Structure 1
Amino acid sequence: MAAPEGDQKQVVDQLPDRVYKYRSFSNRTIEMLVEDQLFYADPSTFNDPLDTRPTLKADVNAVALQEMLRTFVERRTTAELEAAANTIRYRGPKTVEHILRLGRQQAEKMLQEVAYNATNPDYEMENPDVFLLTNYVERELLRQYDKGLVSLSERWQSPLMWSHYGDQHRGLCIGYSVPGDVGDSLRKMNYGGSRLVQASAVAAMLRGDAGAQRLVDDLVLLQKAPDWSYECEWRLVGRRGPQDSPLEMEEITFGMRCDLAVKYAIVRALEGRQRPVSFYEMHEVEGTFDLRRRVLDVAELGVSLPRRARYYLGVFDQLPEIELPLQKATTSGDVQ
């Protein structure tokens, strides 16, 4: 058998100097900015249903697939039971032995389920057992990817990104520099190619092959259709939910339709930050579809904001009342 693709040498992507996050304006955006956090999203919530949904290709026999399924189920069940035991503070060798035994039992139960279902005459194919095992292994493979993802871009001037993710220019784009210690958690997206994951690579991953692990990670987490290439996307991989940002926030660019009050609120919210942030605003290049940005005049924001609606009425409160002279009424018969 040929060596699995995971044995091939992996190419490490050159990290960009800066990456960008397009956002609409919301409470979460304000929290994200002032707390310097990023939200690692569940990939199942992404707008492309094929994103992070590869297909397993069975390039190994049924015995190898059975072993892969057994390993996946034992590891998953053991991890779930260990978490439950920690919650209720069960400890000791008997607890560990019990967990391992239950993990093996769960794996055997699933293998028996596959073998029974393979006898169903409705499966009009040559190897229904391989078909079912492939589906079960694929499902278990995806279940192990419980990480969250932060989608970022190399570009701040993309018209499509501003429209799709920047609330049609009513939002903003946050620029981050990439520290050297970010390491392998920031990964570049691949566009095009196949959604197939070779079972042989998954088997090598389960044996501890680091190259196979990276290959499978790339195919599961970092593969999208060519039509998405305009995003020039990079992804941070980490624990799901809001996390402290491993990147350094450097700049904020406001969209062409962003309200003055939104700009004011964000600029004031970040006043006194230990590392200052630069502010920009988008504008069009006259006669073209190109976008440019210019430095935001922060001082000008404070000229008219914050505004008090009754200010002009109060201006007259300190003035003395002035009695106007009465004008003598005239009639049409008066002599001029």
Structure 2
Amino acid sequence: MDKRIEFERLLYGTTVDSLSSQETAKVKIKTLQEWIITNIPDRLYRFRANTEYAVSALRNDEIWGSNLWEFNDPYECIPFYNLDTIQSELERELSFEHILNLIQLFKSGNIPAAMTNAFGAEMVERIIANIPDRLDESALRTNCEIMKQQIIAFIVQNFNDLCDQFFTGILQAESQRHIACFSEHNDSSLMWGHYANGHHGFCLEYDFKSILKPCQQGCTDIKGCNNFMITPSIAPVIYSKSRFDATSHLLTVIQANIIARAEAPMELYYGDTLLISKCLLTKSLDWEYEKEWRLFSPPSIDSVTNHKVIFSLKPTAVYIGRRSSAEQAQILNEICKEKDIPCYQMIQNYHGDDFKLFPVSYAEYMKGTSPRK
């Protein structure tokens, strides 16, 4: 099985809700952590244009991340919601049978701990005290239907505002992070053309595998850990024909508005606390050629900036673009000497039938002992 498909099934299949215990959340997220640590490639590559700040970052071993608004795909990290799912969830949650079952649970005293956490002990006691000894199921059925129609009417009337809250909430959470993009390969002419200024730039090689380790922060609440409990936080992009389905968050938004209107002292229920990671890692199938891995900064509450340094790591090699100027190539080679890392020149292969580029030692290239064109 393709590794990315394996990760996609693992990530999308891992759901931690806000009522999960810390131990359950830890076990689930640890499974994702272990997959990433085991499967990250030995080397990842970052393409750069020949700019002053890119060369400066290389000198200083800085990895800069960009805000999602700087990405070139307007659908980048933008999820969608499914109206059919919303309707079916409302039908289930507001059905007479579901509410009757809840009442019977309260009445019997067999209340799940998760429900007590959601309602609060005081509210649970009030609910139990107000349950009559004998239920009028006919009246309850009528009241359930009335409540359902009122809630549906509220949703329909305020749907545009609810959708605004849905997208605003997700995008605000996403914009608290900066992302640096890496590829599994450095021989793609398309990648050099798109991300290294038409082959005039350069490519940096990094070894994340040897430094990747479980996070040691010891957070008391890890249910919403979108860093996969690893340092640094890095994961492969999932390429898909459809955007990520974040309907669970719209249901939370609807719930929040209903609770506020009813002034009920209830905790909000989040169906998927890993939702932000799933949004940030889902990308259109059109970009599959990139074979991308994403490095994330920790969430920040500071004002949004377009770019910032998110990690410090010395590259293990530098690759000079096929069309890089002699002057720029020499600058890059000198930096490599200072850092004691290999420097390569990318050249075309005239002896094969593919469109890939391949590297040769820059020193050998300049001596003329390797193919030059």
Aligned alpha-carbon RMSD (Å):
3.5
State the identity %. 22
Deviation for aligned residue 1:168: 1.4
Q: 1:73 aligns to what?
A: none
Once the two structures are superposed, the pairs formed by residues 164-183 of structure 1 within 5 Å of their partners are 164-178=194-208, 179-181=211-213, 183=231
Which of these residues, 107, 123, 128, is aligned with residue 157 of structure 2? 128
1:78-136, Cα deviation, whole Å (9 max, x unpaired): xxxxxxxxxxxxxxxxxxxxxxxxxxxxxxxxxxxxxxxx99xxxxxx92324531332
Which of these residues, 222, 234, 249, is aligned with residue 186 of structure 1? 234
Contact kept, 8 Å, 2:48 with 2:197, in 1: the verdict is: yes
CA distance in 2: counterparts of 1:5 and 1:36, whole angstroms = 35
TM-score (normalised: structure 1):
0.61
| Cα pair distance change 1:24/1:161, threshold 3 Å | same
CA distance in 1: counterparts of 2:250 and 2:41, whole angstroms = 30
Which of these residues, 242, 255, 258, is aligned with residue 321 of structure 2? 255
Within the alignment, does 1:213 sit opposite 2:245 as a pair?
no
Contact kept, 8 Å, 1:16 with 1:154, in 2: the verdict is: yes
Deviation for aligned residue 1:35: 0.8
1:295-324, Cα deviation, whole Å (9 max, x unpaired): 1107958xxxxxxxxxxxxxxxxxxxxxxx
1:51-75, Cα deviation, whole Å (9 max, x unpaired): 01112345457x99xxxxxxxxxxx
Q: 2:360 aligns to what?
A: 294
Which of these residues, 172, 187, 202, is aligned with residue 143 of structure 1? 172
Which of these residues, 292, 299, 312, is aligned with residue 233 of structure 1? 292
Contact kept, 8 Å, 2:162 with 2:250, in 1: the verdict is: no
CA distance in 2: counterparts of 1:222 and 1:37, whole angstroms = 23
SS in 1 for 2:315: strand
AA partner of residue 220 (structure 1): C
Within the alignment, does 1:35 sit opposite 2:60 as a pair?
yes
Q: 1:90 aligns to what?
A: none
CA distance in 2: counterparts of 1:199 and 1:245, whole angstroms = 33
Deviation for aligned residue 1:28: 0.7
Q: 1:309 aligns to what?
A: none
CA distance in 1: counterparts of 2:170 and 2:365, whole angstroms = 54
CA distance in 2: counterparts of 1:257 and 1:200, whole angstroms = 48
CA distance in 1: counterparts of 2:285 and 2:241, whole angstroms = 8
Deviation for aligned residue 1:218: 3.2
AA partner of residue 156 (structure 1): N
Within the alignment, does 1:23 sit opposite 2:48 as a pair?
yes
AA partner of residue 48 (structure 2): R
Deviation for aligned residue 1:140: 1.7
Contact kept, 8 Å, 2:205 with 2:317, in 1: the verdict is: yes
Contact kept, 8 Å, 2:240 with 2:282, in 1: the verdict is: yes
CA distance in 2: counterparts of 1:163 and 1:196, whole angstroms = 29
Q: 2:346 aligns to what?
A: 282
| Cα pair distance change 1:203/1:186, threshold 3 Å | farther
Which of these residues, 177, 189, 192, is aligned with residue 162 of structure 1? 192
User: Structure 2 stretches of 5 or more lacking a match?
Assistant: 1-12, 18-27, 91-152, 214-229, 254-266, 299-304, 368-373
Within the alignment, does 1:152 sit opposite 2:182 as a pair?
yes
SS in 1 for 2:294: strand
| Cα pair distance change 1:208/1:154, threshold 3 Å | farther
Contact kept, 8 Å, 2:61 with 2:313, in 1: the verdict is: no
SS in 2 for 1:297: helix
Deviation for aligned residue 1:150: 0.4
CA distance in 2: counterparts of 1:161 and 1:152, whole angstroms = 11
Deviates more, 1:219-228 or 1:6-15: 6-15
Deviation for aligned residue 1:175: 0.4
Larger Rg belongs to: 1
Contact kept, 8 Å, 1:54 with 1:219, in 2: the verdict is: no
Deviation for aligned residue 1:259: 1.3
CA distance in 2: counterparts of 1:164 and 1:20, whole angstroms = 14
AA partner of residue 239 (structure 2): Y
Q: 2:225 aligns to what?
A: none
Once the two structures are superposed, the pairs formed by residues 60-139 of structure 1 within 5 Å of their partners are 60=86, 127-139=156-168
Contact kept, 8 Å, 2:63 with 2:313, in 1: the verdict is: no
User: Structure 1 stretches of 5 or more lacking a match?
Assistant: 65-117, 120-125, 302-336
Q: 2:124 aligns to what?
A: none
| Cα pair distance change 1:139/1:297, threshold 3 Å | same
Deviates more, 1:255-264 or 1:284-293: 284-293
